[in-house]
């Protein structure tokens, strides 16, 4: 152990989950020496930065409602009370739905559950939507292409005004700066954690231990810059949790798919400027984050650049992966052209002829119930499985992780609401299955 | 499609689950042309043959109780009524438990649930066990090694007499022979299924399809011997389901660990012969399949060879894997020596000095609730996740798979008991979590 260092806690991953967790751990355990590690040159540069950077409280499960509602309130607090600019803009979220979709049991249940939880939403009908969204195509009659493409016609819009978009790297910076104020351990970047060190407890110094009859504990990490020991290792690596957990036989229960984002600018296209300036949804007088009825295609405004980010919820046909590969970082132009663009331009013909000016890819982590995991086993504190919504759940997940670390039965979320610290564990999981996943 | 063949159903994997499923599908869908494929030169040679080859109805979940109870009754029927020798021997299963373990809520609940379901079991106390099992060590007082090894003392035995061991390749042969009697499609061996063919439905013959806006269906398999088309592909590849499902983005929700089996012969060891001939448990007057209180070590008798098979339930420290690698097939001698043998010889000193005469490894498939998966999505009928108990659940799982295929709401299991066909699906899962996993 002579050439290795020792900390109380090592946090692997400086994405939004990692820095938020490090912050609350340090705040509530001031004597602990907490080291943040990330393989990239700065914080929040991996999948946090690759997301659609949007937040919503419009979930169907009371669990996700609570996690996101409190985290978004915290985001508002950071921006409005503390005065730290996160570029949080309440664009709202708008689900465009067909008649069948709107009347489907799952959507009706979703709406009822939002009412029960006091989550505000509005329903717009087809005429209202046509008036509010310039150029929205709500009629596919005699459109053989649309029929071939299985596109559902827009009949309703389900809108949540407390949702919006933000700059996730600023949120990461906020937590990191707050962490640095109260920690005397400097975060380290460019450090690749290669494996978790699983040790016998107590160690007997036998060759090849730990054996099956020994108690085992994770006691640190092996990195490309040497071994670091810690009593607790926080796994906040999002989509890549399996890289570290599988080898020691811990089951993250999550797996990842590649997701892609394409940036379009309105430029000289009058129709896209009008779309961007859709009225009636929010105080910004802009188009909300909008989910189309078919194929999982969605878009969000990017007001500073007068443009849009376009994404798609990949399902059947997109492979699951367990490890990060370079192919994850790069968007596929054929995917935009063949899969995304045809759908987008059918619903909003103003997009016709638009080509991405930028694009990227990232890893999207699937949890089986679309609820995050936060558990503390074998010296490993796993904070994972946000299922594409890490930014909007990070604050709550981080507080729960800290409560688990301190052995508290309940975690206090922003605004004073409480949740059982074990609700998101594997062993004592107590959650509602989430049905509203993008 | 000119140089490819077409069948109604292709069954991938001729292990016990695959052949049983093929048999019930053929029996109840006599007009369908069903092709069984396996990458090995014969049926039942992969993980089916690598298991402990034991069957038990002693589960805590009503789901696993039903699946195993009916499957074991069918095994008895095959051997006793049909007269097909499976070498099924009712050795019984014996869990040796410490005082704390026996009184733990989970064991008490397990016993209550078995009573409710009419599953017979007996409890033996320490004195009875000492008398029945020659050489069993129930006293670790002043044994520092045992303390260092965290070994719990034996205080109770929980015994189920309707459990036993069998020859799984004979069970595979039975289903395969029955299948061949009613099918005119010859099973093919040495055929490696490399990928599932995911196609647009309907196909538009566009380059790179299916796109996200197209309906998708699995329409066959690509093998090392060419493409084979089928309306339905059955995935009965056990621990290796992810190899085929991950690339098309279907989540098997299971993952595999290596398990190992070591064969010891009694040879000239008087103590081991006496152990083998333990009296009072069963009509065979032999030691049951016995699970030791600590470290997951278990052993079963092999009467024909006057020996034992020794195994261990690997937990923390044993990696999860998604693909078959040659390292899975080979047992590790250091694992026997350092992990298994020390535990075994502490409880039964007669094993001291014994060396394996044979050993092998295989893949053990973990389902999150330790209940199998049977679901039919996108043209794929997945029959998977038996979690180390495929042999004892195969008959029931196969009948459920067939009922799902035929669109029946209920499946009739051996003896006439019924279960909802959707109970083991992902979407409409309706199961009790299993707690008694070896």
A218 occurs within a structural domain: yes
Tell me if chain A has a CB within 8 Å of the CB of B105.
Answer: no
pLDDT in the model for residue A388: 79
Give the whole-angstrom CA distance, residue B384 versus residue B11. Answer: 13
Instruction: Report yes or no: B406 and B28 within 8 Å, Cβ to Cβ.
Output: yes
CA-wise closest residue to B173 among B75, B43, B13: B43
Which residues of chain A lie closer than 8 angstroms to B314, CB-CB? 212, 249
**b/e map B172-191, b = 16+ CB within 10 Å:** bbbbbebbbeebebebeeeb
Pair B237, B195 in one domain: yes
Question: Can you tell me which residue has the tokens 């090894």?
Answer: B149
DSSP calls for B337-403? IIIIHHHHHHH-GGGTT---SEEEEEEEEEPTTS--EEEEETTEEEEE--TT-HHHHHHHHHHHHHH
A308 occurs within a structural domain: yes
Pair B115, B234 in one domain: no
Tell me if chain B has a CB within 8 Å of the CB of A321.
Answer: yes
Pair B298, B353 in one domain: yes
Question: Can you tell me which residue has the tokens 């066990």?
Answer: B129
Q: How many CB atoms lie within 10 A of CB A270?
A: 11
Q: Indicate whether this complex's ipTM tops 0.90.
A: yes
A74 occurs within a structural domain: no
Chain B residue with CA closest to A148: the answer is: B214
Tell me if chain A has a CB within 8 Å of the CB of B210.
Answer: yes
Residue A187, token pair as written in the block: 């975060």
Of residues B209, B247, B338, nearest to A208 (C-beta): B338
Among A218, A239, A244, A316, pick the best mutation site for testing chain B contact (most B Cβ within 10 A): A316
Task: List beta partners, residue A221.
Answer: A196, A228
Question: How do beta strands B34-38 and B188-189 pair?
Answer: parallel
Instruction: Report yes or no: A148 and A294 within 8 Å, Cβ to Cβ.
Output: no
Task: List beta partners, residue A301.
Answer: A308
Give the whole-angstrom CA distance, residue A23 versus residue A175. Answer: 6
- Helix (H/G/I), strand (E/B), else coil: A270: helix
Q: Are A213 and B253 a contacting pair at CB < 8 A?
A: no
Q: How many CB atoms lie within 10 A of CB B160?
A: 22
Pair B312, B327 in one domain: yes
**How far is the alpha carbon of A434 from chain B, nearest alpha carbon, in Å?**
12
pLDDT tens column, A364-404: 999 999 999 999 999 999 999 887 789 999 999 999 999 99
pLDDT in the model for residue A387: 75
**b/e map B213-244, b = 16+ CB within 10 Å:** bbebbbbbbebeeebbbbebbbbbbbbbbbbb
CA-wise closest residue to A338 among B246, B202, B197, B214: B214
CA-wise closest residue to A120 among A70, A159, A77, A71: A159
How many beta-carbon pairs below 8 A join chains A and B?
120
Instruction: Report yes or no: A365 and A239 within 8 Å, Cβ to Cβ.
Output: yes
pLDDT in the model for residue A251: 95
Q: Are A338 and B366 a contacting pair at CB < 8 A?
A: no
Contact residues for A241 (Cβ-Cβ < 8 A; gap 6+) = A235, A252, A254, A365, A382, A384, A385
DSSP calls for B138-198? ---TT-HHHHHTTPPPP-EEEEETT-EE--HHHHHHHHHHHHHHH--S--EES--EEEEEE
Which residues of chain B lie closer than 8 angstroms to A255, CB-CB? 246, 251
Size of chain B, expressed as the number of residues it contains: 438
* Residues of chain B by 3-state class (helix, strand, coil), percent to 5: 30, 25, 40
Pair A227, A181 in one domain: yes
Q: Are A211 and B339 a contacting pair at CB < 8 A?
A: yes
Instruction: Report yes or no: A28 and A20 within 8 Å, Cβ to Cβ.
Output: no
Give the whole-angstrom CA distance, residue A298 versus residue A348. Answer: 12
pLDDT in the model for residue A4: 79
Chain B residue with CA closest to A335: the answer is: B211
B65 occurs within a structural domain: no
Pair B345, B206 in one domain: no
Give the whole-angstrom CA distance, residue B222 versus residue B193. Answer: 6
Give the whole-angstrom CA distance, residue B337 versus residue B356. Answer: 10
Of residues A242, A246, A378, nearest to B316 (C-beta): A378
B427 occurs within a structural domain: no
Instruction: Report yes or no: A132 and A138 within 8 Å, Cβ to Cβ.
Output: no
Which residues of chain A lie closer than 8 angstroms to B251, CB-CB? 255, 320, 366, 368
Q: Are A211 and B322 a contacting pair at CB < 8 A?
A: no
Pair A279, A262 in one domain: yes
Domain residue limits at A156: 93-160+255-366
Counting as low any pLDDT under 70, the low residues of chain B are: 1-3
Phi, psi torsion values for B295, nearest 5 degrees: 70, 5
Listed by number, the residues of chain B in 164-203 with a beta carbon closer than 8 Å to a beta carbon of chain A are 198
Instruction: Report yes or no: B178 and B23 within 8 Å, Cβ to Cβ.
Output: yes
Of B366, B400, B428, the one marking the end of a domain is B366
Q: Are A316 and B248 a contacting pair at CB < 8 A?
A: yes
Pair B24, B105 in one domain: no
pLDDT in the model for residue B388: 79
Of B329, B346, B366, the one marking the end of a domain is B366
Chain B residue with CA closest to A292: the answer is: B213
Among A143, A195, A211, pick the best mutation site for testing chain B contact (most B Cβ within 10 A): A211
Pair B285, B213 in one domain: no
Say which CATH number the domain at B249 has: 3.50.50.60
Which residues of chain A lie closer than 8 angstroms to B256, CB-CB? none
Residue A170, token pair as written in the block: 């600023």
Q: Are B248 and A317 a contacting pair at CB < 8 A?
A: yes
Residue A366, token pair as written in the block: 């699937």
Pair B24, B141 in one domain: no
Residue A294, token pair as written in the block: 């078919």
Pair A362, A259 in one domain: yes
Q: Between helices B168-182 and B16-28, what is the axis angle to 10°? A: 30
Q: How many CB atoms lie within 10 A of CB B277?
A: 16
Tell me if chain B has a CB within 8 Å of the CB of A204.
Answer: yes
Q: Are B213 and A339 a contacting pair at CB < 8 A?
A: yes
In sequence order, which ranges of A211-367 are alpha helices (DSSP H)? 241-245, 270-276, 333-335, 341-347
Give the whole-angstrom CA distance, residue A50 versus residue A238. Answer: 12
**How far is the alpha carbon of A256 from chain B, nearest alpha carbon, in Å?**
10
Of residues B151, B250, B317, nearest to A249 (C-beta): B317
Tell me if chain B has a CB within 8 Å of the CB of A332.
Answer: no
Which residues of chain A lie closer than 8 angstroms to B315, CB-CB? 212, 249
pLDDT in the model for residue A3: 63
In sequence order, which ranges of B77-124 are alpha helices (DSSP H)? 99-103, 105-117
**Which value, in Å, is the radius of gyration of the alpha carbons in chain A?**
23
Of residues A150, A213, A378, nearest to B342 (C-beta): A213
**How far is the alpha carbon of A208 from chain B, nearest alpha carbon, in Å?**
8
Count structural domains, chain B: 2
Say which CATH number the domain at A289 has: 3.30.9.10
Give the whole-angstrom CA distance, residue A44 versus residue A41. Answer: 10
- Helix (H/G/I), strand (E/B), else coil: A115: helix
Burial class for B284, CB neighbours closer than 10 Å (0-12, 13-18, 19+): middle
Tell me if chain A has a CB within 8 Å of the CB of B267.
Answer: no
Instruction: Report yes or no: B166 and B89 within 8 Å, Cβ to Cβ.
Output: yes
A408 occurs within a structural domain: yes
pLDDT tens column, B327-358: 999 999 999 999 999 999 999 999 999 999 99
* B416 prior amide bond cis, ω within 30: no
Pair A410, A270 in one domain: no
Of A366, A389, A409, the one marking the end of a domain is A366
Counting as low any pLDDT under 50, the low residues of chain A are: 1-2
- pTM score of the predicted model: 0.96
B73 occurs within a structural domain: no
Instruction: Report yes or no: B4 and B226 within 8 Å, Cβ to Cβ.
Output: yes
Q: Are A317 and B216 a contacting pair at CB < 8 A?
A: yes
Tell me if chain B has a CB within 8 Å of the CB of A255.
Answer: yes
Instruction: Report yes or no: B91 and B288 within 8 Å, Cβ to Cβ.
Output: yes
A63 occurs within a structural domain: no
CA angle in degrees (0–180, nearest 5) for A19-A20-A23: 85
Question: Can you tell me which residue has the tokens 């005065």?
Answer: A83
CA-wise closest residue to B175 among B365, B384, B26: B26
Q: Between helices A62-76 and A390-405, what is the axis angle to 10°? A: 100
Give the whole-angstrom CA distance, residue B107 versus residue B100. Answer: 10
Tell me if chain A has a CB within 8 Å of the CB of B427.
Answer: no
Q: What is the dihedral of CA B317, B318, B321, B327, to 10 degrees?
A: 130
- Helix (H/G/I), strand (E/B), else coil: A254: coil
Residue B261, token pair as written in the block: 């089996």
Among B106, B140, B211, pick the best mutation site for testing chain A contact (most A Cβ within 10 A): B211
């Amino acid at each position: 152990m002579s050439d290795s260092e020792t900390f109380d806690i090592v946090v692997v991953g400086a994405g939004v989950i990692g820095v938020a967790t490090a912050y609350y751990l340090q705040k509530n355990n001031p004597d602990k020496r907490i080291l943040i590690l990330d393989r990239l040159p700065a914080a929040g540069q991996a999948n946090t930065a690759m997301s659609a950077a949007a937040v919503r409280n419009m979930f169907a499960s009371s669990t996700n409602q609570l996690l996101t509602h409190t985290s978004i309130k915290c985001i508002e607090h950071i921006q409005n009370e503390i005065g730290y600019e996160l570029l949080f803009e309440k664009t709202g979220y708008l689900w465009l739905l067909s008649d069948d979709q709107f009347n489907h049991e799952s959507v009706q249940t979703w709406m009822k559950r939002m009412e029960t939880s006091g989550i505000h939403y509005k329903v717009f009908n087809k005429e209202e939507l046509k008036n509010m969204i310039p150029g929205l195509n709500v009629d596919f009659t005699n459109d053989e292409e649309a029929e071939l493409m299985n596109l559902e016609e827009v009949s309703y819009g389900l809108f949540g005004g407390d949702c919006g978009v933000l700059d996730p790297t600023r949120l990461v910076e906020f937590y990191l700066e707050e962490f640095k104020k109260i920690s005397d351990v400097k975060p380290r970047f460019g450090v690749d954690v290669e494996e978790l060190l699983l040790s016998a407890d107590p160690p007997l110094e036998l060759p090849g231990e730990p054996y099956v009859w020994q108690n085992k504990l994770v006691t640190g990490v092996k990195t490309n810059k040497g071994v670091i020991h810690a009593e607790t290792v926080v796994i906040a690596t999002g989509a890549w949790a399996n890289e570290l957990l599988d080898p020691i036989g811990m089951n993250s229960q999550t797996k990842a798919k590649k997701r892609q984002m394409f940036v379009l600018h309105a430029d000289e296209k009058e129709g896209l400027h009008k779309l961007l300036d859709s009225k009636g949804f929010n105080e910004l007088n802009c188009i909300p984050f909008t989910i189309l009825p078919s194929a999982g295609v969605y878009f969000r405004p990017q007001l500073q650049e007068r443009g849009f980010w376009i994404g798609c919820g990949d399902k059947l046909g997109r492979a699951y992966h367990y490890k990060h590969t370079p192919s994850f970082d790069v968007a596929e132009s054929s995917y935009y052209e063949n899969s995304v663009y045809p759908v987008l331009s059918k619903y909003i013909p103003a997009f016709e002829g638009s080509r991405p000016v930028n694009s990227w890819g990232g890893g999207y982590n699937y949890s089986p119930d679309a609820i995050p995991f936060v558990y503390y086993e074998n010296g490993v504190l796993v904070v994972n499985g946000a299922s594409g919504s890490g930014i909007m759940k990070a604050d709550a997940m981080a507080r729960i992780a800290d409560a688990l670390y301190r052995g508290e039965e309940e975690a206090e979320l922003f605004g004073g609401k409480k949740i059982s610290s074990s609700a998101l564990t594997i062993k004592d999981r107590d959650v509602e299955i989430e049905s509203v996943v993008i």
